[in-house]
Structure 1
Amino acid sequence: MDEKYRNQGFGTKLLNHLESSAKQLGASMAMVDTFDFQAEDFYTKNNYKVIGEIKDFPKGHRRIYFSKILS
């Protein structure tokens, strides 16, 4: 994402819209994955919980799996 769009809430608005749409379709949980050098903090700030990770994937980093109960 272009830096000029960061920290303006666009990602959170999009995530909230997707979660709302998923709930309307009957989903009760959301699951996502990212890397430690990408969106780890973003998902944590949006109440996603770490449910697993792969260390050294890619080398020197982690792939992180998150979930969130859609209530």
Structure 2
Amino acid sequence: MLWVDENYRNQGHGRSLLNHLENEAKKKGASISMVDTFDFQAEDFYIKNNYKVIGEIKDFPKGHRRIYFSKVLQ
């Protein structure tokens, strides 16, 4: 799980953590990263970090979407 307290958002901390995790995954041989979130959480964050939507579940929870993303690690 990746979560940044509201007091520390928009300061690059989330991006830094995500980049670190992606680099560690690449060192271990991973070539694709997959994450999921809800539309009321980090959808825009993952899009800004070059993740592509690969699927979603509508009304999960009711009135919202659970969104699945992937990114090719280079």
The TM-score range, normalised by the shorter chain, is: over 0.9
Q: Quote how far apart the aligned CAs of 1:6 are.
A: 0.9
Runs ≥4 residues deviating over 2 A: none
Match of 1:9 in 2: 12
Percent same amino acid at aligned positions?
80
- Give TM-score, length-normalised by structure 2: 0.93
Q: Quote how far apart the aligned CAs of 1:12 are.
A: 0.3
Unmatched 5+ residue regions in structure 2? Answer: none
For residues 6-47 of structure 1, the C-alpha deviation after alignment (integer angstroms, 9 at most, x for no partner) is 100000000000000000000000000000000000000000
Unmatched 5+ residue regions in structure 1? Answer: none
Match of 1:35 in 2: 38
Q: Quote how far apart the aligned CAs of 1:2 are.
A: 3.1
- Give TM-score, length-normalised by structure 1: 0.97
Q: Which structure 2 residues correspond to residues 10-25 of structure 1 after superposition, within 5 A?
A: 10-25=13-28
Match of 1:59 in 2: 62
Partner SS for 2:30 = coil
Distance 2:73 2:5 in 1: 29
Distance 2:22 2:5 in 1: 24
